[in-house]
Each structure stands twice: as C-alpha cells, then as structure tokens.
Amino acid sequence: MQPIKLIGIGADGKQSLPSLYEHWIYESELLIGGERHLSFFPDYQGEKIVIQGGLSSLVERLRHEAKRTVILASGDPLFYGIGSYLSRKLPIEVYPAVSSVQWAFAKMGEKWQDATFISVHGRSMKGLAQRIDGREKIAILTDDTNSPNEIAKYLLSYGITEYRAFVGENLGSKDERCRFFELEEMAETEFLPLNIVILQKVKVGPTWSLGIDDDEFFQRKPEKGLITKKEIRILSISALQLRETSIVWDIGTCTGSVAIEAAKIAREGAVFAIEKNEHDIEICRKNMQKFRTDFTLVHGRAPDHLHEFPDPDAIFIGGTSGEMDRLLDVCCHRLKPNGRIVVNAVTIETLHEAVDGLRKRGFHVDITLAQLSRSKPILQLTRFDALNPIYIISAYRKDESE
C-alpha cells in the first residue's frame, strides 16, 4: 500500500494550510478525520470517514485500503495525538501544523522549551498533583471532563495555589479567546470546549525532599510512632530502586509516609496503597493532601484487593497481618521483571518468614539491620535515644543463568 498522509490542521481550517497540503487533500480518494476536521472540506468529492471511538478498527481497514488516503488531525499529530499510534501500525507520512501548545505560549509571549507537558485529554487526573507540584511551568491538554475549572478545583483541593493560569480557547480561530486567571477565579469560570491551560509559578510553594521529618506527618494519637521512621524510610525507598515511571505497591501503608515519598519519585508512574485500619486510612488521606500526592488508596486487608492493582515494578511491605505466605505468593507472581520487593520486619520471626518465603520463590535476598539513635538534648548536653531495630529485607528475582 502507498503511504498515508497524516496532515495536521489548525482551528482555522483551510486558512493556514499550505497549498500543497490542500492539493493532497483534494486529490485523495479517502479523507478521514473528526467531524470538525471534515467540516472544513464540504466540497470534497471522495469518500469520508469520521473517526469515532478507538483506532484499532480504522487501522484494520487501512491495512487493506488501495485508495489514496489522507487523515486529518489537530495541530501536531505526534504531540499527544493519533500520529504516535498510527505511525506504529501503518506506513504514515506526517505533516504537522502549529500545535495548540505553540499557539498558547505565543499568545502569552512566553518561551516554552522549559515547560512540562501533561495531557488529561481522555485520561484521568489521578496523580496530577505530584506531576505538577514544584514545576515552574506546565502546559495541560484538556477535554470536556477535565476542563480548566475542574483542573483548578482539583489543584486547590491539594493546596496548590502558587500558580497563575493562562487559558487559550479556540486558538487560531476567529473566535479565539485568551485570558489569565487566579486558580480560585478559574474554578468558577466556564470555558469553550477547545482549550489549553498553561500554569506558571508566581509564588514560592512548600517543598519536601526525600526524607520528610516524621513530625510533619499526621499520625495516630495518642499512639504516635506508628510510622516508618525517616531513616528507615530512606533506606527502604533506596532499596526499591524507583524510577520516575515506576508502578509501586505499598502494603500496610498506615500514615502513607512510604507511599507519599514514593509518589514524589515515581511522579510519572503510579502508587497503589492498601491499609486495613479505617482510622489510618483517614490519616493517610490528610497526609496525601498535605504533601500533594494523589495515589490510589484502598481500605482492605492484603492480599485481598491486590488483583485490582496493575503489575508493579516495586513492592514495599510494611505489614502482613499474619498473611506472609499468601502475600508473597501474589507479590512474587505479579512483580515485573527486574522489580524489587522490600519488607520491613521488627521481629526475628517475621524476618525468618520473609527471607525463607522469598528464597523458596527464587528470589535473591539482602538484609540490612538498621540500629539507629537520634540525638536528644538533656539540659545543656546531648544524649542519644535508640530507635527500634528494623530488618530491611530487599529481594529481587534470581537470573536463571546464575
């Protein structure tokens, strides 16, 4: 089959199309695109197909299509567009137009090579808090559900107030509209369906680096101390070997301290946490809002509910509720290749059960015994208070060639 031309088109339709692109469109025999794109060519004489729903059925048809074909898409089809999918499946030649992101930054008079790009178009906003937090400049592609006002409400619910927003609507068209907003104002405003949001940091917001102090977390009262201590947390997260795109399970999350630190590292991935204690679930939610992390939190007893989570790159087990054997069955089976399991154990019985269970399932095990003390003032002097010793068990699957 001859290559299919995938042509980007702006909101102004034909007006900004190069004459060569327009020639290709009219000489084609099959024109494909969204209803809005096809409406720009009412005088087209060939066959038209409206793209609706998924692209897999369209790809199957085009694999056997002999007609000269042009596909229309918005802006740059390879920037969060259909081009990335189609180019992997079909012989495609891509001819981009100016993207909505370029238009928006041009209207702001602002450079954009240093921006972070996020799409919630057809996607969930889950995890958006940690993806945005701390960034200086963010471009967000929206849709009808994840509109600018809903984005503003979401950000405000996590206390993210240090950004000014720019919203560009129908960019490049005759009814184009561009405005700046405070987030509180944007939350109360209605917008045209075609828009893009740019967030620009204008104030200093709170920041947290790896190793958040224990006292910063909301905890149980009067039983303060049911938290993975900062020093143990740092060692455990290091052992998980997280990447920005990691999928992480936190089993027995309690206050959520490990899940929160993991979410700040795996900000382009996802964190899934489970906790059996209902009171701790509420505390964890408060910590999620305070530390601007939006991960999946489930009230339940593992290994129940773990089937609802995607396969993980890393698993932290902070509590087993006496279900070590069943838990390891699920975790060892579901862990992705080259993934890591880290278990924190307080007793030698739990240590033995975890190490024995992991080794029987073909995992290599490393153990660190952390015996730490913190300084404490006594009059004008300093003494040390010992923390409970913790066994940090780190495991990965043995290479069969070993």
Q: Tens of pLDDT along the chain (402 residues)?
A: 689 999 999 888 888 899 999 999 999 999 999 999 999 999 999 999 999 878 999 999 999 899 999 999 999 999 999 999 999 999 999 999 999 999 999 999 999 999 999 999 999 999 999 999 999 999 999 999 999 999 999 999 999 999 999 999 999 888 999 999 999 999 999 999 999 999 999 999 999 999 999 999 999 876 666 799 999 999 999 999 999 999 999 999 999 999 999 999 999 999 999 999 999 999 999 999 999 999 999 999 999 999 999 999 999 999 888 889 999 999 999 999 999 999 999 999 999 999 999 999 999 999 999 999 999 999 999 999 999 999 999 999 976 544
Which of 67, 98, 129 terminates a domain? The answer is 98
Residues 234, 344 contacting (CB under 8 angstroms) = no
CB atoms within 10 A of CB 77: 26
What is the full DSSP assignment across 260-311? Answer: HHHHHHSTTSEEEEEES-HHHHHHHHHHHHHTT---EEEES-TTTTGGGSPP
Q: How far apart are CA 347 and CA 152, in angstroms?
A: 47
d(CA 245, CA 268): 5
Q: How many domains does the chain have?
A: 3
Six-digit token string for 320: 């087993």
Per-residue model confidence (pLDDT) at position 399: 64
Please name the helix (run of DSSP H) or strand (run of DSSP E) that holds residue 395, with its range, or none: strand 390-397
Angle between helices 257-265 and 230-240 (to 10 degrees): 50
CATH number of the domain residue 15 falls in: 3.40.1010.10
- Within this chain, do residues 184 and 295 fall inside the same structural domain, yes or no? no
| 87 in a structural domain | yes
The residue out of 175, 201, 227 marking a domain boundary is: 201
In the three-class reduction of DSSP (H, G, I as helix; E, B as strand; rest coil), residue 137 is classed as strand
Same domain membership, residue 174 and residue 224 = no
Residue 206 lies in a domain: no
Do 115 and 42 share a structural domain? no
DSSP 338: T
CB 102 within 8 A of CB 117: no
Query: In what order do the strands lie in the sheet containing 177-182?
Result: 116-119, 137-141, 195-201, 163-169, 177-182
Q: Do 190 and 240 belong to one domain? A: no
Rg, Å, the chain Cα set: 26
CB atoms inside a 10 Å sphere around CB 151: 24
Task: Tell me phi and psi for residue 335, to 5 degrees.
Answer: -60, 135
Residue spans of beta strands (DSSP E) within 170-288: 177-182, 195-201, 247-251, 270-275
Is position 105 within any domain? yes
d(CA 370, CA 310): 31
pLDDT at 320: 84
**pTM (2 d.p.):** 0.89
Q: Which domain holds residue 182?
A: 101-201
Helix pair angle (348-360, 324-334), 10° resolution? 40
- Flag whether 208 is in a domain: no
- Strand-strand pairing, 163-169 and 177-182: antiparallel
Is the domain of 189 the same as that of 254? no
8 A C-beta contact, residue 32 and residue 51: yes
Residues 337 and 292 in one domain: yes
Same domain, 240 and 107: no
Using alpha carbons, select from 113, 136, 116, 119 the residue that is nearest to residue 75.
Answer: 119
